[in-house]
Amino acid sequence: MIEVKHVCKAFKQFRAVWDLSFSIAQGDIFGFVGPNGAGKTTTMRMMATLLDPDYGDLVIDGISVLDEPETIRRIIGYMPDYIGVYEGVEIEEYLEFFAAAYRIAPARRKGLVDEIMEITELTDVRHKDVATLSKGMRQRLCLAKTLVHDPKVLILDEPAAGLDPRARIELRLLLKELQKLGKTIIISSHILTELSDMCNSVGIIERGLLLKAGRIDEILAEQRGAAGQKLKLRVMGSPDPAVAVLKSLPDIGGVEIERDTITFTFLQPEASNAGLMRELLNRGVPLVSLQQESKNLEDIFLNVTKGVIA
Ligand SMILES: Nc1ncnc2c1ncn2[C@@H]1O[C@H](COP(=O)(O)OP(=O)(O)OP(=O)(O)O)[C@@H](O)[C@H]1O
Ligand SMILES: [Mg+2]
């Protein structure tokens, strides 16, 4: 759905984004992660046709941002990291204004605005002045605004910034709903845990350079393949006999006891775990459970940024 091709962007002599290439599949929720100043906003502004790349191209739904910016603007919804709102305007009026700006037929406007307020849970506060909204409500209103023209692609620059935990959960649920409607969503953040439960693919950027991009499950499997799986074993009674058995088996290393759990690395793919369990049982280990230590975005991040941060 989105292809970023060798994109470079400099501000005077400063390279904000350098030779950036990655792609995002239709229906993905793509987490764009990186520290402050990494180039996330710059890249998203280029996707949104607000900034031209110096080199390279960005293609959305088969259309180049350089060739047909007008067409791109109709298929994307962009939520900037900084939002200006008007004073003395009610939520409902604000959304109706944008519906009109997007040339939605007058007869359809009211129904559409009602629908969007329902999705973003703004119906109850529809008559509130937008200037008096709390941060969370304001974020919801901005998201509502990006939905007015029913874009296929949502480009959201730090939509969760400043939200309380409850509002973050609500945002996550809302994005999952939008994903079910077939939308492709790009969401930036420098907080990994925020993206972990939300995204199925990720791009990690630092100082304008892409460090890694792809599906989270595939990157995890790849990293696991190289470093072995980290497993957790629990047994009945003393762990010592089980540790002795483990140490006698091939492809096993780093055996450690942590309270009633034994952790170790197994240099075999996941498919071999059943065989390992059978072997442990055959050798009389009173096994309660054998689990893979859950890995997430933070592990990916630590792995790919290893040695990069000075
Ligand atoms: N208009 C501009 N003129 C000069 N430098 C700019 C401009 N816009 C961005 N930059 C620089 O480009 C770099 C990347 O900025 P960008 O806003 O894309 O980072 P970011 O990843 O969005 O960071 P943050 O997490 O703080 O939002 C920064 O060093 C920034 O100072
Ligand atoms: Mg930014």
CATH number of the structural domain spanning residue 108: 3.40.50.300
In the sheet where 63-64 sits, what is the strand order? Answer: 14-24, 2-11, 55-60, 63-64
In this structure, the answer to whether residues 255 and 131 fall within a common structural domain is: no
Indicate if 168 and 242 belong to the same structural domain.
no
Q: Which two tokens stand for residue 35?
A: 């520290």
* Domain identity same for 156 and 233: no
Based on the domain organization, do 92 and 240 belong to the same domain? no
Calculate how far, in angstroms, residue 76's C-alpha sits from the geometric centre of ligand 1.
Answer: 22
The domain boundary, picked from 191, 214, 237, lies at 214
Q: Is residue 309 part of a domain?
A: no
Judge if the beta carbon of residue 189 lies within 6 A of ligand 1: no
Q: Which ligand is nearest to the CA of 156?
A: 2
CATH number, domain of 276, equals 3.30.70.100
Q: Global pTM?
A: 0.81
pLDDT 10s digits, 28-71: 999 999 888 899 999 999 999 999 999 999 999 999 999 999 99
Q: Please tell me whether residues 52 and 185 are part of one structural domain.
A: yes
Which of 56, 55, 58, 54 is CA-nearest to residue 44? 58
Tell me what the pLDDT averaged over the chain comes to: 88
Answer with the residue of higher pLDDT: 307 or 188. Answer: 188
Answer whether residue 220 is part of any domain: no
- pLDDT at res. 151: 94
pLDDT digits (tens, 9 = 90+) for 280-299: 999 999 999 998 877 677 77
At 310 the pLDDT is 34
By the CB criterion, residues less than 5 angstroms from ion ligand 2 are 40-41
Task: Tell whether 208 and 59 lie within a shared domain.
Answer: yes
Domain, as residue range, for 108: 2-214
Q: Phi and psi for 190 in degrees, rounded to 5?
A: -110, 10
Q: Which ligand is nearest to the CA of 157?
A: 2
Ligand 1 centroid, distance to 79 Cα (angstroms) = 16
- Nearest residue to 4 via CA among 172, 222, 205: 205
Whether residue 77 sits in one domain with residue 17: yes
Q: How confident is the model at residue 169 (pLDDT cuts 50, 70, 90)?
A: confident
Neighbouring CB atoms inside 10 A of 81's CB total 14
Q: What is the mean pLDDT of residues 12-26?
A: 94
DSSP 240-291: HHHHHHHHHSTTEEEEEEETTEEEEEE-S-GGGHHHHHHHHHHTT--EEEEE
Answer yes or no: is the C-beta of 109 below 6 A from any ligand 1 atom: no
Pair (49, 196) in one structural domain: yes
Query: Inter-axis angle of helices 91-101 and 135-147, to 10 degrees?
Result: 30
Does ligand 1 come within 6 angstroms of the Cβ of 36? yes
Same domain, 153 and 284: no
Q: Are 187 and 159 found together in one domain?
A: yes
Closest CA to 218 of 68, 76, 85, 25: 25
Closest residue CA from atom 8 of ligand 1: 42
Please state the domain count of the chain: 2
Query: Percentage of the chain with pLDDT > 70?
Result: 95
Rounded CA separation 53/64 (Å): 12
Q: How far is the CA of 162 from the centre of ligand 2 (A)?
A: 14
The response to whether residue 16 sits with its C-beta less than 6 Å from ligand 1 reads yes
Q: Which residue's CA is the closest to the ligand 1 atom numbered 30?
A: 37
Residue 222 lies in a domain: no
One domain, residues 204 and 258: no
Q: Which atom of ligand 1 is nearest to the CA of 34?
A: 21
Does residue 106 carry a pLDDT above 80?
yes
The reply to whether 61 and 205 lie within a common domain is yes
Number of Cβ within a 10 Å radius of residue 113: 24
Give pLDDT, residue 198.
Answer: 84
pLDDT tens for each residue of 193-225? 778 778 999 999 999 999 989 998 888 777 766
